[in-house]
Amino acid sequence: MERKGGEYVNGENDGFDPSNPPPFRIADIRAAIPKHCWVKNPWRSMSYVLRDVSVVFALGAAAICLNNWVFWQFYWVAQGTMFWAIFVLGHDCGHGSFSDNPILNSVVGHILHSSILVPYHGWRISHRTHHQNHGNVDKDESWVPLPEKIYKNLSLKTRLLRFSVPFPLFAYPLYLLYRSPGKEGSHFNPYSNLFNPHERKLIMISTACWTAMLLLLAFLSFAIGPAWVFKLYGVPYLIFVTWLDLVTYLHHHGHEKKLPWYRGKEWSYLRGGLTTVDRDYGLFNNIHHDIGTHVIHHLFPQIPHYHLVEATKAAKPVIGKYYREPKKSGPIPFHLINNLVASLRQDHYVSNNGDIVYYETDPELFQILSLGKSE
């Protein structure tokens, strides 16, 4: 990383360089975390499922009974948030942090994820790839930086859609179908290069469950009318997708000081995981199962979500400056909107070369976005 005038370019300017190899090992962090934080309690995990599913049905029943415009607005936000909470529990099943029983994890994961139109095994496997290669420009899977050569080949329309709010917040369904620019494959296709041959049967099962949910929604559209299905399910689904894209993006982008991405020999599992960012979501922390406590989750995805806060407190003395304390939120995390917008306006691509790289800004796109905003 270059310096100018004694300050780091695109990095820290307080003497700390986050791209330097840390003076501790992942085993040191593991040793600092209390042993009980690794224990998975299936009964406790199932209690969260029961809680979330009960709230989902209660909200639906209330919307049907009240059926007035004021309550619908509340319902859409609340139900979309609960869909997101259900996704997080399915995500835990995929990591095996839900329980030590793989059959229970798979059954619960399929029910939860299929209910919100997520192919359980398809997404589980690609998400595993993300965790195994976090922070790696060439191999990461989720919100990966585009090398300049790929970025420059995108049409202007694609660039504007990718980097203009609110369009990136609705990217998830497209990602499931097509992945990201520069990558090929579909989460629904068992022969996609996302998957190994021995995983094809699993993908077929998940795609079949996803299709069954889609058929159920189609049947309900005929039975009670498409307007009711759209109000009860369609709008909350869009809110859920917004939550998913917002949270997953901000876990790896939008920090006040730019963080490194790695290639080749400079990448390691520990260095990649330490570029993850924790976030405070105010009153939503408990609702969506502390998913904002993300650094420790990335390093040790086997830890159940209900131990992440305690595990993070125990690990912070070891991690030191490599841990970035999240900005405290009010009840509603409005402050994160600024992080999102600022990142999308500045973090466009990384250099084609180099083993330690930082996001760079396309000045022409910035000018177009600024002109569009002023008109």
The stretch 73-93 carries a mean pLDDT of 98
The stretch 23-29 carries a mean pLDDT of 97
How far, in Å, CA of 284 to CA of 244, rounded?
A: 13
Check residues 228 and 183 and name the one with the higher pLDDT: 228
Contact between 237 and 80 under an 8 Å Cβ cutoff? The reply is: yes
The stretch 67-78 carries a mean pLDDT of 96
Other beta carbons less than 10 A from residue 43's beta carbon? 7
Structure tokens at 177: 């179908």
pLDDT(326) > 80:
yes
pLDDT in tens, 232-275: 999 999 999 999 999 999 999 999 889 999 999 999 999 999 99
| Strand residues in the chain grouped as ranges (E) | 3-4, 7-8, 261-262, 356-357
**Which among 264, 290, 261 is positioned nearest to 148, based on CA atoms?**
261
pLDDT in tens, 140-162: 998 999 999 999 999 888 898 88
Indicate if the alpha-carbon torsion angle 364, 367, 371, 372 is positive or negative.
Answer: positive
Q: Distances from the Cα of 212 to the Cαs of 12, 56, 166, 176, in angstroms? A: 50, 20, 30, 17
SS3 content of the chain, % helix, strand, coil (to 5): 60, 5, 35
Contact between 281 and 292 under an 8 Å Cβ cutoff? The reply is: yes
How far, in Å, CA of 61 to CA of 70, rounded?
A: 15
Residue 357 pairs in a beta bridge with 261
CA 337 remoteness from chain centre:
16
Other beta carbons less than 10 A from residue 286's beta carbon? 10
Contact between 247 and 88 under an 8 Å Cβ cutoff? The reply is: no
How far, in Å, CA of 231 to CA of 334, rounded?
A: 25
pLDDT in tens, 100-127: 999 999 999 999 999 999 999 999 999 9
